[in-house]
Structures are given as structure tokens and as C-alpha cells.
A and B are shown apart, each in its own frame.
Chain A
Amino acid sequence: MSTVVLLTITGLGLAALYFLVASGLSLIFGLMGVLNFAHGAFLTIGAYGTWWASDHLPGAGSTGWGFVLAVVFGVAVGTAVAALIELALIRPLYERHIEQVLVTVGLSLALVALVRATWGADPHPFPRPEWTQRTTSVLGANVPNDRFLLIGSAVVVLVAVLAFLRFTRFGLIIRAGVENRSMVTALGIDVRRAFTLVFAIGGAFAALAGALGGIYLGSISPGQGTSLLIFAFIVVVIGGMSSITGTAVAAVLVGLVQQFANYYAASGVGDLSVVLLLAAVLLARPSGLTARLA
């Protein structure tokens, strides 16, 4: 029983990480039609920004509020980089989807190479606040606290995104833009501002995933974002490409399947199981679990 509880909560923790990366991808694809292969680089930037700030930023540290400040710094850098990339490189290529894909693929390679050139290719131990290194007993299972931090963060992000989409004018523009972008502009709305905002929000979530992923994995390395991005893309496709709730459900499915398969079959089978899950969902529902934003 305790093993099932541990696997379930750990799987949900992994799902939370996938959701944080995939929610931004889903928003960006839903509104802008951009397959953002540079999204993993935002995660890397968030992770390294947090790691760097915990040592160098005045007031920041590896515990308590100092660590929170380091995470805020990492997320702010990830957000700013995403917004700049949208303004400088994506905006001139609206409606030119192949060029957009090439640019984001190039960026993902260049940004990771930049991080590698600056801080080396070896993994760095990530600062982990003391509370996250302890465990909490749940139905006989000793669950690492960092899983709760991940799950809590993902739930907060999910509720915040849904509230943003439902109750704000920008959210209204994004939901309408996903349906019919040209009609939104025909109502006198500059949809490009929504594009930049969505790209920045996506960057912020990926950067947060980078910081929390550092706690979950215990270390950071330049290629971390790219490997997580593959699973995030699978989550987005299973969820329905532009559905936030679909992405959340898909993240939970993928996280649980991966954890249980890795434990009960053999290490590595989890990844294969996720690909099989993707194939099964696409065969049964080619548009994913749901194909609507919110």
C-alpha cells in the first residue's frame, strides 16, 4: 500500500513538472500556432538563473525567503528572455510557420550552448531548502516534501491560468484568438500584444519548472530542459494541443504511467509506456483528450 501511495504522489510530482512546461507550450501553440522548440531553453534559463542567484544575488540564498527570491529572479529572467525572443525573432515571422520552427530549433541549440559555454557541461548541485529534503509520512509512505511543493505550485498555476483566461480581457482575447485570430483583429484588437504576453507567460512557467525541477532532480545541467521538453510535447498532444485542462489531465496520466511502469516493469519501460499511451490516445481520439482552450 505504501509503495502505491509513494508512486502515486511521486508520479503526481512528475506530472506537475510536466504540466508547468506543457501549459506554456499549449498556450503558445493554441493562440499563435507556434511549435516552440526553444521552450526547453526557458526551463534551463530558469534553473540556472535560480542557481546563480542563490549564490550571487544580494538577499538571495539556498533556504527560506532567500531561496524564494532566487526562484523569483530565475523566473523573471526566463520571462524576460521569452518576451524578448517573441518581440525580436518570432514577431517578424508571423504566418511563416516553417521559419518559426527553424528559429526556435536554432534558439534551443544556441541557448543551451551558451549556458554550456558559460557554466560548463557538468551538472551542478542545485540548492535545496531544508524542508524539501525532509519527508512526510502519508498512509505509511515517506514522501519527499519536494513532491508536495511541485504539486502545490502546479495547482496554483492551473487555477491562476484558468482564472486569467476566464475573468480578464486578455484571457478573453486569447480564447477568441485561439478560435479565429483574424476576426479578433477585425474587431480592432492588436492580437500581437496577446502573443507577446502569452509567450512571456509560457516562459515564466517553464522557468518556474526549471527551478522546481532543480529541486526535484537535485542538480541542473544544460540539456535538462531539452529532455523534459520531449515529454512536455507528448503531454500537449495527448491533452489536445490547445487545452489547459486537457494538458493538466494528460500530465497526470503521463506522470503516473511513467512512475508505475518504471517501478513494476523495469527502469526505462516508463518512457516506452508514455509513447504507447500517446499512440493509444491518438488512435482513439486524434485531436487529443480535448481540443479547446480552458
Chain B
Amino acid sequence: MSGTVTPPLLRMSDVHVRLSGSHILQGVDLTVRRGGVTALLGRNGAGKTTTVKAVLGLVPSTGTIEFTGSDGRNQRLSGRRTHEIVRHGIGYAPEDREVFGGLTVAENLTLAERRNSPHHHDRVYELFPELKQRSRQLAGTLSGGQQQMVAIARLLLNDNQLLLIDEPTKGLAPLLVAEVAEVLARAAEEVTILLVEQNLTVVRRMADDAIVVDQGRIAWSGPAPELMADADRTRELLGVATTGGHA
């Protein structure tokens, strides 16, 4: 029996975020283990997106955020600039996709190529053949679903260790939701995903672990199937029963 304990990929300790006088995150403590999908759940305005942005340094925060990469080195992310954090192998797909509408699909992907990483255009075009056909089209003229493909393709283009994906199925038609979930499930075989998601059907299908944020604090964390199986708890924490639909 080995005594070695694998450190978590991401650890946040006592993280606070204050924006425009509001205390958004009030001492968040969480860990994301290496491998699989960890769902970050919570009601609207609970602090899920702010938690992800705090990891990336997109909002000012206090407290400790640490990342242990595949080389075993523990990196303190707090206080570092966003581009330095991302270069540790952390990819980000924001809630509103935020593709560059004035650039073509191909330019969006070229821009996402990181210098210190191999680029997997073949993998991206295999997952999203439509993007190859539309490579010269301005991203701003794509549908919401196609823009989401670009946003996810940007993540899969580089070798990442952690993907922070914020509501990838928001506003998509059911068929596209299933398609996006399928792509993320395939990606999760190779890379750890921290997934902010309101659609509990997607959570039930993909998530191994779940973390629930409530009013800027972690209200629950543990195996996702355990949370999904407990209707009373999901109703209490998320405001819905787990029999379907959105949180």
C-alpha cells in the first residue's frame, strides 16, 4: 500500500472577491482533483462565474489559489497576471463565448495558439468539421451554437491541464446541448474540467464531482452522483429537484 497522496490539481483557500462594494466571494475553499469533470453548481448570482474568474485573475481576489501541474510543481496563481496563469495549461471558455466577432473562425483559432504548446488543429476539425468549412467566415456571423464550437475549439487547440468552462450549453437548442456535452465528455478523457453548468441533465451525464456555491461560500462538495441522487438536498441547494431541467 502506497502512502503517496496525489495533490489536487486546483486548490482555493479563503478566497474573497469584492466588486463595486459587493462582497461576492466570502471565503471560498475548494479543491478540484486531477481527472474527470467537477461541476460547479449554484443558483443565479451565487458566485460561480466569479469563482472561475478569480482562478484566472480576471477579478481581483484575496486568499490563496494554487495549481499543481503534471510536473508535480505547486504554483501559486494568486496575484499573477491572467496570461501567466493561462500559460500553466489552463483553458477558459466564458459564459457568453466571447469569440472575436470581427475575426474569422481561422483567425480566432490562430489567436488561441499558445507558443509553449503543440497545436491540435486536426483534433479540433475532427470534433467540429463545420468549423473547417466556415474557417474564413467572420465569427460574429455564426449562430450561437457555432460560436460555442469556436469557444470550445480554442480550448482543445492547446495542451491544457485544466479547462474552466462556464455554462457551455446556455441558450443552445437541445440537439446542440447533447452535441456539446458529447464533445466535452470526450475532452474529459484527456483533461480535467471544472464545469459551471445549470443544466442538471448535463451535470448528471458528465460530472464526477460537484461543488455547490451559495451566497459566495461553498455550501456542499462531494461526488456528483450522490448530490444528484438526493432530491431534497438539490432542492435545498439549487432550488430544483434532480428529476430534470435547469438549476
Interface residues of A (CB under 8 A from B): 169, 172-173, 175-176, 178-180, 182-191, 292-293
Out of A172, A188, A190, name the residue touching B103 (CB < 8 Å): A172
In the bound complex, residues from chain B placing their C-beta under 8 Å from that of A175 are 100, 102-103
Q: How far is the CA of A292 from the CA of B102 in the complex (A)?
A: 8
20 A-B pairs with C-beta separation under 8 A: A172-B110, A175-B100, A175-B103, A176-B100, A176-B111, A179-B100, A179-B101, A179-B102, A182-B82, A183-B94, A185-B81, A186-B58, A186-B94, A187-B86, A187-B114, A188-B86, A188-B114, A189-B111, A191-B83, A292-B102
A176-B82 CB under 8 A given contacts A182-B58, A187-B111:
no
B166 CB to closest chain A CB (Å) equals 11
Q: How far is the CA of A253 from the CA of B102 in the complex (A)?
A: 26
In the bound complex, residues from chain A placing their C-beta under 8 Å from that of B83 are 185, 187-191
In the bound complex, residues from chain A placing their C-beta under 8 Å from that of B94 are 183, 186
Question: Does B86 lie within 8 Å of A186, measured CB to CB?
Answer: yes
Question: Does B98 lie within 8 Å of A180, measured CB to CB?
Answer: yes
**B112 in contact (CB, < 8 A):** yes
Q: How far is the CA of A188 from the CA of B112 in the complex (A)?
A: 8
B101 CB to closest chain A CB (Å) equals 7
A50 CB to closest chain B CB (Å) equals 37
Q: How far is the CA of A185 from the CA of B83 in the complex (A)?
A: 5
**B163 in contact (CB, < 8 A):** no
Chain B residues within 8 Å of chain A by Cβ, number: 20
Q: How far is the CA of A188 from the CA of B92 in the complex (A)?
A: 10
Interface residues of B (CB under 8 A from A): 56, 58, 81-83, 86-87, 92, 94, 98, 100-103, 107, 110-112, 114, 154
Q: How far is the CA of A178 from the CA of B101 in the complex (A)?
A: 11
Q: How far is the CA of A123 from the CA of B92 in the complex (A)?
A: 56
Q: How far is the CA of A182 from the CA of B206 in the complex (A)?
A: 29
A187-B102 CB under 8 A given contacts A172-B107, A182-B58, A182-B82:
no
In the bound complex, residues from chain A placing their C-beta under 8 Å from that of B86 are 185-188
Q: How far is the CA of A183 from the CA of B82 in the complex (A)?
A: 10
In the bound complex, residues from chain A placing their C-beta under 8 Å from that of B98 are 180, 183
In the bound complex, residues from chain A placing their C-beta under 8 Å from that of B111 are 172-173, 176, 184, 187, 189
A176 to chain B: closest residue by CB: B100
B71 CB to closest chain A CB (Å) equals 18
B90 to chain A: closest residue by CB: A188
A189 to chain B: closest residue by CB: B83
A123 CB to closest chain B CB (Å) equals 44
Q: How far is the CA of A33 from the CA of B35 in the complex (A)?
A: 41
B226 CB to closest chain A CB (Å) equals 32
Question: Does B100 lie within 8 Å of A180, measured CB to CB?
Answer: yes
A277 CB to closest chain B CB (Å) equals 27
B112 to chain A: closest residue by CB: A187
Question: Does A186 lie within 8 Å of B103, measured CB to CB?
Answer: no
Q: How far is the CA of A69 from the CA of B98 in the complex (A)?
A: 46
A184 to chain B: closest residue by CB: B111
In the bound complex, residues from chain B placing their C-beta under 8 Å from that of A292 are 102
Q: How far is the CA of A173 from the CA of B100 in the complex (A)?
A: 11
In the bound complex, residues from chain A placing their C-beta under 8 Å from that of B114 are 187-188
A185-B82 CB under 8 A given contacts A172-B111, A173-B111:
yes
Q: How far is the CA of A182 from the CA of B56 in the complex (A)?
A: 11
In the bound complex, residues from chain B placing their C-beta under 8 Å from that of A178 are 102
- Which of B81, B83, B103 has the most chain A CB within a 10 Å cutoff? B83
B159 CB to closest chain A CB (Å) equals 12
Q: Shortest 5 CB-CB distances between A and B: which pairs?
A: A188-B86, A185-B82, A183-B98, A176-B100, A190-B83
Q: How far is the CA of A184 from the CA of B82 in the complex (A)?
A: 10
Q: How far is the CA of A180 from the CA of B98 in the complex (A)?
A: 8
Q: How far is the CA of A191 from the CA of B84 in the complex (A)?
A: 11
- Which of A185, A186, A189 has the most chain B CB within a 10 Å cutoff? A186
